[in-house]
Structure 1
Amino acid sequence: MVSVPAVVIAAPASGSGKTTVATGLIGALRRAGHRVAPFKVGPDYIDPGYHGLAAGRPGRNLDPVLVGPERVVPLYRNGSRDCDLAVVEGVMGLFDGRIDEQRTEPIAEGSTAQIAAMLGAPVILVVDARGHSQSLAALLHGFATFESGIRLGGVILNRVGSERHEQVLRAACARVGLPVLGALPRLAELNVPSRHLGLIPAVEHGAAARAAVDAMTDLVAAHIDLAAVAALAASNTQGDPWDPVAELAAAQPDSSPAPAANGGPQAAPILAMAGGPAFTFGYAEHREMLEAAGARVAVFDPIHDELPHGTAGLVLPGGFPEEHAPDLAANTPLLESILGQAHLGLPIHAECAGLLYLTRSLDGYDMAAVVDAEAEFGPRLTLGYRDAVALTDSPLWRAGERVRGHEFHRTRLTETGDFPPAWAWRSPTGETVREGVVTQHVHASYLHTHPAGNPTAISRFVTTATHFAQTHAAHT
């Protein structure tokens, strides 16, 4: 498989307009006839939704912290199958990544620069032109020479104030030998509504999200040299694409699928996966791995739907349940069904929004009451990677296993009961943090994990669901 060429959209700092440029570029290149593979650096769940709308295919993440650096290239090669070009949106500033005071090398783990180096792809730097003039040349010189393993291929000027402003900035770029691939004017109408965790997910924003993507596409098509971007794209990745079946086979979990109750062949267990506007945080590889492990995934919307018939396992991903608490609480039959199935031993994997949904109440609205706790919108944002160790056996992890995850929430649990915690980790100040809930066959936590980085956990969960399906069928 030939490596699909890519461009990496980066910036000197957050808020420079990377998402507008990357999303518009994906849409404009697709409109020009390219089959574009969209990627996002890091654990972000929201930007890939807009990328997916623009590309007409799922947006995917490249995160060496969560999946391991050895999986980045295979995941890229898998996500770019059948495409002729890839656009990778970076995270924060070009060299920003996981903070490690002991690190001496310039490329931080999980940074955009690290991904660009892994892919052998050129970087296009998006610069917020507001406040910049001739001194832009010094800034660009610094980014172009800071690390020899990164190739800065061009600049896109964003939020340019006037023709004269653009001329001055182009001269600054020429002074350091960097081509200007486009200059975008200031357009307030492209602002996509946001909330406390960033942009509102495309699924929630509906037709307005589609309109925003179309506007970004129109803007980029009118002001960026698409032919020059496509000609700049490159990649030197080698090796096989990521294969969930091979990953699961190599994981060698410590348990094998239970034999069928009647001695016959096993039926694929049905895993219900929450979707809809309240549960929008997830990775495309999650469903692919569950299916590769032998499960059938049925996506349902907890706001409107019932639990799918024959559910043998429940997956509750992240999202914004705090924005939809009244509607979630109104679906009483589903809440009661989930509680009843949990008492029967239904395996449940809940992350962040899923944890909130399983509590007794969220901001005063009744939830499923599987977890003896209440939840509320909190005063501050909790954000960052975590090196966690499992404290309790669960359907996914065994006590003592180490996992890398990511927290991203502004809610908190209150009035919690006495239950075994799921995880422990060290805070930046050195304190031990115990977090999450493990009870019966439930694993619920604020910690987001990437399934591609945890194939053994996926295999265990499907095995547990298979056993539940067989046992439950034998007693009904």
Structure 2
Amino acid sequence: MPLVIAGDRSGVGKTTVTLALLSCLRRRGLAVQSFKVGPDYIDPMFHRYVTRRPCRNLDSVLTSEGYVQQCFSYHTRDVAYALVEGVMGLFDGAAGRGDYASTAHVARLLGLPVLLVVDCSRMSHSIAALVHGYRSFDAHVHLAGVVLNRVGSDRHLELLKSALEPLNVPILGVLRRQDSITIPDRHLGLVPALELENLAPLVDHLAYLGETSFDWSRLLPLLATNPPSAGTQLLEIDTRPETRLENLPFELNTQHSTLKIPIAIAQDAAFNFYYQDNLDLLATLGAELIFWSPLNDSELPKGVQGLYLGGGFPEMFAAQLAENETARNAVKAAIQLQIPTYAECGGLMYLCQQIVDFEEQSHSMAGILPTTAVMGKHLTLGYRQVAALQDGLMFARGAIAWGHEFHRSHLTKEPQRPLFTLSSPAPSPTEGWHLPHLHASYIHLHWGATPEIPKQFLCNCARFCIKN
């Protein structure tokens, strides 16, 4: 069955190992489905570039344990190979909840063995104690083997192998120190794949490393998927009767109930933080997804009934966004006409009066919200439990959900009518901007286990069509 790629801590090379394996499998012409533990957007972009298949996030906080299991089963049903890239260290979970939502937790939920990546650059015999500890810490987590990363020399490798020999832990890969394998990063992690011009040669090099650095005779069977049962389905998306478009609780004539609702999705280098499951849910519930670029397009797509402005890096493209005045004015005019609009993090920033970048330069944005997004050094990060303060575009009053914050900007003015109260540790007790037709928030949401959220959004989009 497939492997979970884990690390003893962050920064040991999980993503490099994962991309090397994926690249090698693809070079061999094999179909492979990848997954990422946690609320990450950027690593899945690299997975997708390599595999040509959307990477799926496995996060039991944002969704549920059951959804994690169903998502994995559903998306491995038609591929021969799969792997899961972990997050942080193997047992590092959501703050204050033990190892809940950790790589180990996901491995237990899915019954998958773990391949442990170890940064060997500053150790020799001590590796035995480290690997022994990770193997024995949790009897329900099976360690299938290790990858020795950043090995300095043949002599160094001999010392590492000698130390590990009494443990009988298979060494399934050895990667030497690779100064040429560098993916640039910035204030929120790796630079997204869309922005890298030399990604193809890098992936070719990763594929070569994958071919030459791993014991494929033992590794390939561990990556193979089991044949799924005949009834395998992703229940939260496409099997429950209430998720069909004709059962949505808005008033439409019968002949209209089968029409697709066109939704404009901002998609370019500035806006690309989307969970694929969210987009799939919208499409399954009856949306027609129309992608457009606030950076490059002069207007919104014709006839759309809703806007979805995802997260990303608008601060890195603030000057270009400001220069595209026609696009900004088109968004502003549509929202003033009360088109239903869902804006997350970067999307929220785009709706502000201005963005002040890291060089303290101001750039005009859409001007819907009477506040400015200012970039800073402080990172706001963590899971948030939210409760809706009033009926709105996405939530009924009192509805509770889990989301995730990850940004280095703050707003100069707080909303008079916020969207949420925050009951988990957070910088402030309330968050988000609310209008009857607008949901703008720093909180990223995964709708996989809560299809009622996109359903309510589409209900409002359908009403917009009726009014207009």
Superposition TM-score tier, normalisation by shorter sequence: over 0.9
1:234 to partner: Cα distance: 6.4
Between the aligned partners of 2:23 and 2:4, the Cα distance in structure 1 is 15
Q: 1:130 aligns with which of 99, 117, 121?
A: 121
- Matching residue of 1:302: 294
Q: Does 2:354 match 1:361? A: yes
Between the aligned partners of 2:244 and 2:203, the Cα distance in structure 1 is 39
- Matching residue of 1:323: 316
1:466 to partner: Cα distance: 1.2
Between the aligned partners of 2:271 and 2:441, the Cα distance in structure 1 is 15
Deviations 1:275-294 (A, max 9, x none): 11011111111111111111
- Matching residue of 2:271: 279
Q: Does 2:36 match 1:54? A: no
Q: What letter corresponds to residue 149 of structure 1 in structure 2?
A: H
Normalising by structure 1, what TM-score? 0.92
Between the aligned partners of 2:404 and 2:293, the Cα distance in structure 1 is 24
Deviations 1:14-40 (A, max 9, x none): 000000000110111222232111110
Between the aligned partners of 2:246 and 2:166, the Cα distance in structure 1 is 57
Between the aligned partners of 1:373 and 1:227, the Cα distance in structure 2 is 58
**Would the aligned equivalents of 2:310 and 2:345 in 1 still touch at CA under 8 Å?**
yes
- Matching residue of 1:91: 87
Return closer, same or farther for 1:121/1:328 CA change in 2, 3 Å cut-off. Answer: same
Q: 2:221 aligns with which of 227, 231, 234?
A: 231
Between the aligned partners of 1:253 and 1:40, the Cα distance in structure 2 is 34
Between the aligned partners of 1:419 and 1:366, the Cα distance in structure 2 is 22
**Would the aligned equivalents of 2:82 and 2:224 in 1 still touch at CA under 8 Å?**
no
Between the aligned partners of 2:133 and 2:448, the Cα distance in structure 1 is 35
Q: 1:115 aligns with which of 106, 118, 143?
A: 106
Deviations 1:308-336 (A, max 9, x none): 10010000111010001011111111111
Q: 1:423 aligns with which of 420, 423, 435?
A: 420
Q: What letter corresponds to residue 379 of structure 2 in structure 1?
A: L
Between the aligned partners of 1:377 and 1:23, the Cα distance in structure 2 is 31
- Matching residue of 2:256: 265
Return closer, same or farther for 1:234/1:55 CA change in 2, 3 Å cut-off. Answer: closer
Q: Does 2:448 match 1:458? A: no
1:251 to partner: Cα distance: 10
Q: Does 2:196 match 1:196? A: no
Between the aligned partners of 1:46 and 1:466, the Cα distance in structure 2 is 32
- Matching residue of 2:368: 370
Q: Does 2:90 match 1:80? A: no
**Would the aligned equivalents of 2:54 and 2:276 in 1 still touch at CA under 8 Å?**
yes
1:227 to partner: Cα distance: 2.8
- Matching residue of 1:292: 284
Deviations 1:212-235 (A, max 9, x none): 222222212111122321123467
Deviations 1:418-461 (A, max 9, x none): 431111113538x8521110113000000001021320010011
3-state SS of paired residue (1:9) = strand
1:415 to partner: Cα distance: 3.3
1:177 to partner: Cα distance: 1.1
**Would the aligned equivalents of 1:251 and 1:456 in 2 still touch at CA under 8 Å?**
no
Deviations 1:106-153 (A, max 9, x none): xx1110001111111110000001111111111111000100110000
Q: What letter corresponds to residue 421 of structure 2 in structure 1?
A: A
Return closer, same or farther for 1:240/1:120 CA change in 2, 3 Å cut-off. Answer: same
- Matching residue of 2:328: 335
Normalising by structure 2, what TM-score? 0.94
3-state SS of paired residue (2:165) = helix
Unaligned runs of 5+ in 2: 357-361
1:209 to partner: Cα distance: 2.5
- Matching residue of 2:359: none
3-state SS of paired residue (2:239) = helix
Between the aligned partners of 1:208 and 1:414, the Cα distance in structure 2 is 38
Q: 1:213 aligns with which of 203, 211, 221?
A: 203
Between the aligned partners of 2:302 and 2:322, the Cα distance in structure 1 is 21
Q: What letter corresponds to residue 382 of structure 2 in structure 1?
A: G
3-state SS of paired residue (2:301) = coil
Q: 2:174 aligns with which of 170, 183, 201?
A: 183
**Would the aligned equivalents of 2:36 and 2:55 in 1 still touch at CA under 8 Å?**
yes
1:8 to partner: Cα distance: 0.5
Between the aligned partners of 1:78 and 1:168, the Cα distance in structure 2 is 43
Q: What letter corresponds to residue 153 of structure 2 in structure 1?
A: S
Q: CA RMSD in A?
A: 2.0
Between the aligned partners of 1:247 and 1:50, the Cα distance in structure 2 is 32
1:255 to partner: Cα distance: 6.4
**Would the aligned equivalents of 1:29 and 1:226 in 2 still touch at CA under 8 Å?**
no
Between the aligned partners of 2:410 and 2:204, the Cα distance in structure 1 is 37
Return closer, same or farther for 1:453/1:292 CA change in 2, 3 Å cut-off. Answer: same
Between the aligned partners of 2:246 and 2:185, the Cα distance in structure 1 is 41
Between the aligned partners of 1:265 and 1:250, the Cα distance in structure 2 is 17
**Would the aligned equivalents of 1:76 and 1:241 in 2 still touch at CA under 8 Å?**
no
Deviations 1:312-361 (A, max 9, x none): 00001110100010111111111111111111110000110010011111
1:257 to partner: Cα distance: 2.5
**Would the aligned equivalents of 1:121 and 1:234 in 2 still touch at CA under 8 Å?**
no
Between the aligned partners of 2:62 and 2:244, the Cα distance in structure 1 is 16
Q: 2:162 aligns with which of 160, 163, 171?
A: 171
**Would the aligned equivalents of 2:384 and 2:404 in 1 still touch at CA under 8 Å?**
yes
1:252 to partner: Cα distance: 11
Between the aligned partners of 2:161 and 2:49, the Cα distance in structure 1 is 32
**Would the aligned equivalents of 1:50 and 1:213 in 2 still touch at CA under 8 Å?**
no
Q: Which 10-residue stretch deviates more, 226-235 or 371-380? A: 226-235
Q: Does 2:66 match 1:67? A: no
- Matching residue of 1:345: 338
